[in-house]
Structure 1
């Protein structure tokens, strides 16, 4: 008997959820191919969307593609399928990031509960309130990371100062690297409301007048509102890390990151991501908490209570998915 495979319409809708994942500067560096006969979906890196200066190792690209894989898993689970991910299945083909097969899943996978958060999750560069996040919610976010094989360490006041210092140093290093600034400007400068990629002006947030939350200034980008705002004085920051640092671990970290972000969204929290200090090898290790059980920091996540914000643009599904 032939094993059942997802129909094309279902698979297309799952990829539609996958592409709502965050990626570095919203470059959306993914390409999917679905082979109907075998029921296999492959995920490849889009070579036109790499950043050889800002992300020379491709670690950031893997994080974004891992987040897309997690959204895919959630969407499939919501429709009764289990998506089984084989990360980096062919060492001779580094652009092949994952191969995904599908089997009928349990009656109700807990992943399915996260699907309502997929279209609601947006990266917020707006000020958050100073109201502390309840410890029970923070524990839930830690559990979300652990469920995907990663660890989420929330920073105390001392660690927040260390993280902000590393981010400041990264911003200064970026100012001295014209090739990095040029890459970033490609995805942030002049992005208008008709774009399907990049960070438009309305999503950049106001300039920071006061407060300690990490707010990135993008070179050449013009904010829609030329205003300044007071950000939170005690930002809630966490570092997501892994035990190893191979490309497959970056994909794992991306899935853990997205599980944390979706759970936070369900909990009524706003989130933003900071990768700036992690993009510089000499600064990355300053991000790691020496008390952490994980050796490799992968992303800094800011959590809090913020306003509703609009979504950033996405490429149409038919431009990233090929069906054979």
Structure 2
């Protein structure tokens, strides 16, 4: 539990909680401007942190910032502080304004503890089903958020069908060298395997075998023809398929088809983080499975440089097949997807950059 808050420390405490949010490959694409005079925090997307094809349009970065915002709102509520979220039309993605933030009040610390211990678990899960009571509680804790809805998918037959298309999408994501290069650049082979690296992914957090790590370091750097000839895309797809099959279920966040604005991405991030924290508090392991969502995003960008030759047609077919299996989407679009289930703790986790690296303090 943090010490009693003062006007000089409240904002820093909130941002320290915000940066525990998940982000693609732990890129942490956010920056916070702390206005102590007005007791406000402005949230910005740091576009320089992730320029990979998977973050085309900075959609994944804005989603990560949304998760960070959700962390701050939860901590404020836990502390009994009054926090107001304002969407912004200028460069800031959002602003959080605080009132009555001088005391801890009836804080119980549960939100902070859950946020701090939340982690990505890439292990195989044990396939155990979740109880109807648990699913009902998860649904009740993830209501619709400004037209962004959260859906829970379970049942072995549905997971088997979805595992096939999700596995093929994973193989396709790795089939182009720019995307492989981006993924490889975020794996911290330069650090100890179990180090909680401040930026990027620790090797142990990948849950990869020694042979798989060698393949990642060698084949990911090779030309496309060699990568495809080796059968690596198929093997990576099979691995993703196996991961989905081992899950108890999938959690899907659905957003409206339009508008695809940064603020809508922020709402997706908030909804995703709500679900993840509820799952974690219930003792369940979680891993984002975003290949299909990324493929849809790449298609919508309409930039031929982001898609490989003949990849456009294959991607559209996969996305169409996926949508046919998830009627929950309705007239919306799948905006975030993660698997959940029961598993031992992960072999490793990641750290975060220093607070000073992601904040600017002003006094107005």
TM-score (norm 2): 0.74
Partner residue in 2 for 1:163: 162
The yes-or-no answer on 1:276 pairing with 2:272 is no
The answer to whether the 8 Å contact 2:126/2:246 transfers is no
Change (3 A) 1:298 1:218: farther
- From the two aligned structures, give the one with the greater helix fraction: 2
The answer to whether the 8 Å contact 2:11/2:36 transfers is no
The yes-or-no answer on 1:295 pairing with 2:332 is yes
Change (3 A) 1:296 1:231: closer
The yes-or-no answer on 1:177 pairing with 2:192 is no
Once the two structures are superposed, the pairs formed by residues 38-117 of structure 1 within 5 Å of their partners are 38-87=38-87, 89-90=88-89, 92-93=90-91, 96-104=92-100, 113-117=110-114
Structure 2: how far apart are the matches of 1:114 and 1:147?
20
Q: Secondary structure at the match of 2:360?
A: strand
Structure 2: how far apart are the matches of 1:184 and 1:218?
13
- The alpha-carbon deviation at position 219 of structure 1 amounts to 4.4
Q: Secondary structure at the match of 1:198?
A: coil
Of 269, 274, 289, which aligns to 1:259? 274
Structure 2: how far apart are the matches of 1:77 and 1:146?
17
- The alpha-carbon deviation at position 54 of structure 1 amounts to 1.7
- The alpha-carbon deviation at position 319 of structure 1 amounts to 0.9
- The alpha-carbon deviation at position 18 of structure 1 amounts to 0.8
- The alpha-carbon deviation at position 172 of structure 1 amounts to 2.7
The answer to whether the 8 Å contact 2:151/2:328 transfers is no
Q: Secondary structure at the match of 1:85?
A: strand
Q: Structure 1: any 5+ residue segments left out of the alignment?
A: 210-214, 223-227
The yes-or-no answer on 1:20 pairing with 2:20 is yes
Structure 1: how far apart are the matches of 2:37 and 2:353?
26
The answer to whether the 8 Å contact 1:153/1:292 transfers is no
Structure 2: how far apart are the matches of 1:151 and 1:107?
31
RMSD (Å) for aligned C-alpha atoms: 3.1
Query: Which entry has the higher C-alpha Rg, 1 or 2?
Result: 2
Q: Structure 2: any 5+ residue segments left out of the alignment?
A: 220-238, 297-315
Structure 2: how far apart are the matches of 1:290 and 1:178?
33
The yes-or-no answer on 1:320 pairing with 2:329 is no
The yes-or-no answer on 1:122 pairing with 2:124 is no
Greater CA drift, 57-66 or 302-311 = 302-311
The yes-or-no answer on 1:139 pairing with 2:176 is no
